[in-house]
Structure 1
């Protein structure tokens, strides 16, 4: 049974490169940002960052420039399977509706879970806030998260491309959509 009292907003950061990845490396999750929303009140919970230690890639200088995360930071992270277990245990992620900005995050989780034989940490209900925002605002196309925040008259809270800060900003957008 899916609980509808909270929506769990998630945002992932992944290893990335300027251009093609080095031989033998594949993009994988290095940070899971989480921000729950109480549906009844629209209140955003605390933002949380779960660092994930990559096993098939390393953090490039481009990735550090984009996310501020270094290889040393993610070396201290959890293995992917443990990070997924934290989502289930601490956030009841497998029994909640979850949301992300676009389909990238959902697809990264699906691919990485399949690749590593890890149980998918979320329930079956996913909200794509990017599409919902464009439809609700009658935009001619989907826009990036930073542009959506700007269109609502706000500024990015925290560091763009850090999972916990992006999840918090996406949660703010979703609260606005739920309150419309």
Structure 2
């Protein structure tokens, strides 16, 4: 089945992390999937939300909470399983039929690792846009700039809280929209 090219799904994940090496026996788990849709024709950004995910192979460290503002209590109260989150992506965002984008390769690799480890199907189709690389190429930077730095270069204010998937997805959509229209 061909891709639906009206909108691009923008993804930004936050995952469990530690200051230094992971604690013994812990694997990095996605704890938030930030998502929105970028309308290719109009540049409108819609359906922006953060899906909180309960970690299955690790816990949220104080360092992780400091970085992301996501607490163990938040995911315990409002989080869903990773499997359920992938189902939401497939059903509500048509993630296997649409092109999707993230800032860098981390999000793609984290999804691949976690799907493989847990034994569930990858929720996305094969067409992935690496906005970080595309931005560097478009601007002839010679290096890949971080998301906040890319926004600064474009003189676009950072919306929300950096390292919150819901806000970073929206900010990435603004960068990709600029790339597509300049």
Deviation, structure 1 residue 154: 1.5
Identify the residue that residue 88 of structure 1 maps to in structure 2. 90
Q: Which residue of 2 aligns with 1:20?
A: 21
Distance 1:2 1:84 in 2: 18
1:135-163 Cα distance to aligned partner (Å, 9 max, x none): 00010200100000000002210000000
TM-score (norm 2): 0.97
Q: 1:141 aligns with which of 143, 167, 176?
A: 143
TM-score by length of 1: 0.98
Distance in 2 of aligned mates of 1:156 and 1:106: 23
Cα separation, 1, equivalents of 2:36 and 2:152: 20
Secondary structure of the residue aligned to 1:87 is helix
Consecutive unaligned residues in structure 1, runs of 5 or more: none
1:22-41 aligned within 5 A: 22-41=23-42
Q: CA deviation at 1:44?
A: 0.9
Distance 2:91 2:47 in 1: 16
Structure 2, unpaired ranges of 5+: none
Distance in 1 (alpha carbons) for counterparts of 2:76 and 2:126: 31
Q: Which runs of 4+ in 1 moved over 6 A?
A: none
Count residues with an aligned counterpart.
Answer: 180
**Per-residue displacement from partner, 1:93-132 (whole Å, max 9, x unpaired)?**
1100000000000000011011111111111100000000
Deviations 1:16-41 (A, max 9, x none): 00011111111110000001011111
* In 2, Cα distance between equivalents of 1:54 and 1:36: 25
CA RMSD in angstroms comes to 0.7
Cα drift, residue 46 of structure 1: 3.2
Partner Cα separation in structure 1 for residue 13 and residue 64 of structure 2: 13
* 2: CA distance, partners of 1:118 / 1:36: 24
